[in-house]
Amino acid sequence: MMGLVVLSLGIAAQPRFATPDLEVWLNAQASIAETKMFANFSPPGSMPGTILASPSTHDPNYYYYWVRDGALVMQSVLDLSNQGSKSARAAMETFVRFSRDNQIRAGWNLGEPRFNVDGSVNTEPWGRPQNDGPALRALLFIRFANQLLAEGRRDYVINELYGSKLPADTVIKEDLEFTAHHWGEKCIDLWEEVWGYHFFTRAAQYMALKEGADLADKLGDGGAATFYREQAGFIEKELSKHWSEEKDYYLSTLEMNYNVDHPKPSQLDVSVLLAALAAEQESGILSLTNDRMLKTAIAVEASFKTIYGLNRDLSTGTAIGRYPEDHYFGGNPWVLTTAAYAEMNLRIADQIARAKTFVLTETQAAYFAEAAAVSKRTVGTLSAGTDIAADRALKTQVVTALQAKADRYLERIRRHANQDGSLSEQYGRDDGQMLSARDLSWSYASFLRALTSRTRANASASAL
Ligand code: NOJ
Ligand code: NOJ
């Protein structure tokens, strides 16, 4: 039954005929995404714990392990583990062993971006170092460690994840030491294209050191905690320098070395939003509701409306790419960036649903009103200074509007997914066909992250 439903939907590009509701598709697609993502783990002949970026071996060849992709993908596995999945928990522990081996092979340069599937360093010419990798990996394992500590598994945490010994011999400690000592260096960005100081990389480093300091405190490593916290404070100041008054959004890279192949005069990039999603903060510079973050996300979305043919039809959410000047595979929307907008709106909905007070800024008021308009929901008057949490009806309307807006991006993904539910890296800017690396692990992981946020937002909304 379900298989048939998915099948007919896959072909239904546009116009979309009467479809069973999104819920049915999302349910089916959740398990498809999980299965296909796990199929990229530890392929035959690889070192156990290897996560392929994609099984694609040519055009493009993604048959490698990337540190960044691995860390971000495993965040979704950690969600599954926290939801009680035994296999996800086992995958986390395998990934801990794999990562320690990986660090030892990388040696002094933890910013080494990718590895062969047998675990060896990939020595081909490549954009290196990419220092977001170790920071994202630290953040992942810090969150895992907190989960394990709550379960009373302190020995495992101390032996495998965070030991205070120096030189470090555990995964988190090694990555934090590297990050604390190297965050001030320029590197290559997450898209492996430009050299400079990147908002995304800095945000990952800031979060790793901030959460790492708290973990170090918990484990009695007070001196390290103080040091990490101090470095995090410095990075936070650097992050705020990315704000451009003139452009009214965060610039993705400062002191950018113009790579002639990848010009980016706008400096407008979805990676700023991806940083906020990875940070999971509800206040401060990296929170999604922060005016500057919101303005950046709005500007990124607006930039794609005019350049992709697909966005002439906005009966679903906007097709979102990496940055407007992107020309990789012709420059297309990506699955993971589209899923990011679903996740963003759901996280904001969830935060508002739980909030005791939520006093609107002008930017928020405009954004929430637009969310209601685009998803055809009614909402009362929203203006700067209104505490929407104080008015139950208004609060519910805003939350519902954000949830509905989020679903539009999931509809966008549904519209372009392959018939069997497989998701590639990109989809064609004009024809919507899946494009570039097939079965990208990161695509599945982002989709699953959006669904986790969706479940959470639903639960909070139904408690209103
Ligand atoms: C250029 C792409 O834009 C970048 O994202 C990618 O990682 C490299 N080429 C390698 O495929
Ligand atoms: C290209 C992306 O730009 C980069 O972020 C990613 O690490 C690799 N593909 C592998 O998925």
What are the pLDDT digits (tens) for 419-438?
999 999 999 999 999 999 99
pTM above 0.75, yes or no: yes
Ligand 2: centre distance to CA 246 (Å): 30
Rounded-to-integer distance, Cα 376 and Cα 386, Å? 22
Give residue 174's pLDDT.
98
Q: Is the pLDDT score of 108 beyond 90?
A: no
Phi, psi of 115 (to 5 degrees): -130, 155
Q: Which of 425, 435, 438, 443 to mutate to test the pocket of ligand 2 (most atoms within 8 A of CB)?
A: 425
Give per-residue pLDDT as tens, 265-300: 999 999 999 999 999 999 999 999 999 999 999 999
Query: Where do the DSSP E strands lie in 17-87?
Result: 65-66
Rounded-to-integer distance, Cα 225 and Cα 207, Å? 13
Counting atoms of ligand 2 from 1, which one is nearest the CA of 322?
A: 3
Predicted confidence band of residue 258 (pLDDT cuts 50, 70, 90): low
Q: Which of 286, 293, 270, 115 is nearest to 205 (CA)?
A: 286
Ligand 1: centre distance to CA 192 (Å): 6
Residue having the nearest C-alpha atom to atom 1 of ligand 2: 191
Q: Which of 190, 269, 335 to mutate to test the pocket of ligand 2 (most atoms within 8 A of CB)?
A: 190
Judge contact between 248 and 272, C-beta under 8 A.
no
Rounded-to-integer distance, Cα 201 and Cα 134, Å? 10
Segment 156-174 mean pLDDT: 97
Arithmetic mean of pLDDT over the chain: 94
Rounded-to-integer distance, Cα 364 and Cα 380, Å? 14
Rounded-to-integer distance, Cα 451 and Cα 437, Å? 22
Task: Indicate whether residue 334 lines ligand 2 (CB < 6 A).
Answer: no
Please give the full DSSP string across 14-34, using - where no structure is assigned. SSPPS---HHHHHHHHHHHHH
Q: Which amino acid is at 120?
A: S
Predicted confidence band of residue 260 (pLDDT cuts 50, 70, 90): confident
Residue having the nearest C-alpha atom to atom 2 of ligand 2: 191
Give residue 54's pLDDT.
98
Residue having the nearest C-alpha atom to atom 4 of ligand 2: 191
The answer, yes or no, to whether the previous bond of 333 is cis (omega within 30 of 0) is: no
Give per-residue pLDDT as tens, 347-400: 999 999 999 999 999 999 999 999 999 999 999 999 999 999 999 999 999 999
Segment 79-92 mean pLDDT: 95
Phi, psi of 298 (to 5 degrees): -65, -45
Counting atoms of ligand 2 from 1, which one is nearest the CA of 69?
A: 7
Give residue 20's pLDDT.
57
Rounded-to-integer distance, Cα 371 and Cα 382, Å? 12
Residue having the nearest C-alpha atom to atom 10 of ligand 2: 53
Q: Which amino acid is at 254?
A: L
Q: What percent of the chain has pLDDT over 70?
A: 95
Ligand 2: centre distance to CA 155 (Å): 35
Segment 202-214 mean pLDDT: 98
**Ligand 1 cavity residues, CB under 6 Å:** 60, 191-193, 328
Predicted confidence band of residue 337 (pLDDT cuts 50, 70, 90): very high
Ligand 1: centre distance to CA 190 (Å): 9
Residue having the nearest C-alpha atom to atom 3 of ligand 2: 191
| Paired tokens of 329 | 């595979």
Give residue 189's pLDDT.
97
Give residue 2's pLDDT.
34
Ligand showing the shortest atom-to-Cα distance for residue 127: 1
Counting atoms of ligand 1 from 1, which one is nearest the CA of 191?
A: 5
Segment 126-143 mean pLDDT: 97
Rounded-to-integer distance, Cα 33 and Cα 411, Å? 15
Q: Give the 3-state secondary structure of residue 278.
A: helix
Rounded-to-integer distance, Cα 353 and Cα 402, Å? 11
Ligand 2: centre distance to CA 282 (Å): 27
Give residue 248's pLDDT.
98
Judge contact between 190 and 121, C-beta under 8 A.
no
Ligand showing the shortest atom-to-Cα distance for residue 130: 2
Segment 109-123 mean pLDDT: 96
Active site residues: 189, 192
Q: How many residues does the chain have?
A: 464
